[in-house]
Amino acid sequence: MQETLQDVGNPTGWTALLVGLAALAAGVGALRRPGIWLTMIQEVEGSPALQFLCGMLELVVGSAVYLNNPWVPSDLLTCVMKTMGGLMIFEALAILSLVDVYTQLWLRSLGNFHRGWAGITTAIGLVLSVLGMLRFH
């Protein structure tokens, strides 16, 4: 008998909900305290220990998201979550290997579009949280 996603604990629902809640909280925090992400990126850029820690943490989280979500073309959320996990892995490797180049891209972007990124992050977090919760109806 073949198990369904529901039978194995609904990994897509849980990852969408948890990643969504994290993004929602981070976005709201950035909207409340403009410039906080800019400060964070500057601190990471200046500390090899933080660079390694951030890269490894994102690699672990991205791998968990990627590996716990199957590619099911008929289920858009599983595909979105698997893609998101893959992008997180790619970003983690960029942080670990090209942090000087990568942080400069973010520093320029955050300086000019901070509230925009915070709003986009909040919206993505809200959407993922709702879609994740809908998996548990």
For the chain, which residues make up each domain, given as ranges? 11-134
Q: Per residue in 57-77, pLDDT tens?
A: 999 999 999 999 999 999 999
Q: What's the pLDDT at 127? A: 98
Give CA separation, 134 vs 3, 17, 47, 118, 130, in Å.
20, 9, 40, 24, 6
Q: What's the pLDDT at 8? A: 63
pTM of whole model > 0.85? yes
Q: What's the pLDDT at 4? A: 58
122 close to 17: Cβ distance less than 8 angstroms: no
| Low-confidence residues in the chain, pLDDT < 70 | 1-8
Q: What's the pLDDT at 95? A: 93
